[in-house]
């Protein structure tokens, strides 16, 4: 039978034991870093996908700005600025149709449009409109700027902007306003 030997606990480890100990410590340390501080592969792939989408959106917007489409016109802001006055009944109807043109949208998606019937007050005509939009912040800013160039002025009565819940980086906008025109 083999007897138990007494072990001296103050004995120094040999070279093989030291090497194994340091190798195990390095493995545990790298595992700790990976678990706590380094992003996972799925997080990195999600980030790459978002960057790719942003690059595509940027290139499309640059392309659309550089090359106007044939036959498509964007209403221009009158040179006289705020003294232009209000448009006609025809301008109000044209503005309602223009707010959903693809050339005006450029990356903004309309989720819902609500309009009311034309209201007559003397010779002034007005029509309420409610828009729910989703798109990137840059596209939303361009769309709001293009609303200023509509043939009939849109007076925005209520406006809200919020981040989309799906973590896509898109924003949601709710716009309530009224188009005004003259009934000539």
Which residue positions in the chain have pLDDT lower than 70? 1-4, 7, 37, 39, 63-85, 103, 184
Output the pTM of the full model. 0.51
* pLDDT at site 175: 92
pLDDT tens track for 76-95: 434 334 334 677 888 888 88
Task: Tell me the CATH number of domain 85-182, given options 3.40.50.300, 3.30.70.60, 3.40.50.720, 3.40.50.970.
Answer: 3.30.70.60
* pLDDT at site 65: 65
Q: How far is CA 61 from CA 41, 58, 136, 164, in A?
A: 30, 5, 11, 21
Residues 99, 75: Cα–Cα separation, whole Å: 11
* pLDDT at site 66: 66
CATH 3.30.70.60 domain position(s) in the chain = 85-182
* pLDDT at site 92: 84
């Amino acid at each position: 039978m083999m007897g138990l030997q007494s072990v001296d606990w103050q004995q120094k480890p040999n070279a093989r034991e030291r090497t194994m100990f340091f190798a195990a410590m390095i493995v545990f340390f790298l595992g700790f870093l990976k678990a706590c501080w380094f992003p996972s592969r799925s997080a990195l792939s999600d980030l790459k996908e978002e960057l790719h989408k942003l690059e595509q959106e940027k290139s499309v917007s640059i392309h659309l700005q550089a090359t106007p489409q044939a036959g498509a016109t964007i209403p221009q802001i009158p040179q006289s600025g705020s003294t232009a006055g209000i448009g006609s009944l025809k301008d109000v109807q044209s503005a309602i149709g223009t707010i959903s043109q693809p050339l005006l949208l450029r990356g903004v998606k309309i989720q819902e449009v609500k309009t009311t019937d034309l209201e007559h007050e003397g010779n002034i005509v007005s029509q309420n409109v409610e828009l729910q939009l989703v798109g990137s912040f840059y596209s939303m800013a361009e769309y709001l700027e293009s609303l200023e160039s509509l043939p009939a002025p849109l007076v925005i009565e209520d406006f809200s902007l919020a981040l989309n819940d799906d973590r896509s980086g898109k924003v949601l906008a709710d716009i309530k306003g009224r188009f005004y025109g003259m009934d000539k």
